[in-house]
Amino acid sequence: MNFKYLLASLLFTIGQLSMAQNYNGKVLDGQNNSPLPEAHVTAQNGKATYTDADGNFQLSIPEKGTTVAISYMGYKTIQQFISPSDTVNQFLMEEEPFEVNGVMVTGNAKIIPYLPQ
**Where are the domains positioned within the chain?**
21-93
- Angstrom distance (rounded) from CA 51 to CA 91: 12
- Angstrom distance (rounded) from CA 95 to CA 61: 27
Give tens-digit pLDDT for 67-87. Answer: 999 999 999 999 999 999 889
Strand segments (E) across 44-95: 48-50, 56-62, 66-71, 78-82, 89-93
pLDDT at 104: 85
pLDDT at 97: 81
CATH 2.40.110.10 fits 21-93, yes or no: no
Among 48-62, 75-89, 93-107, which is the least confidently predicted range?
A: 93-107
10 Å CB burial of residue 91 (0-12, 13-18, 19+) is buried
Q: What is the pTM of this model?
A: 0.68
Give tens-digit pLDDT for 8-54. Answer: 665 555 555 445 678 999 999 999 999 999 999 999 988 899 999 99
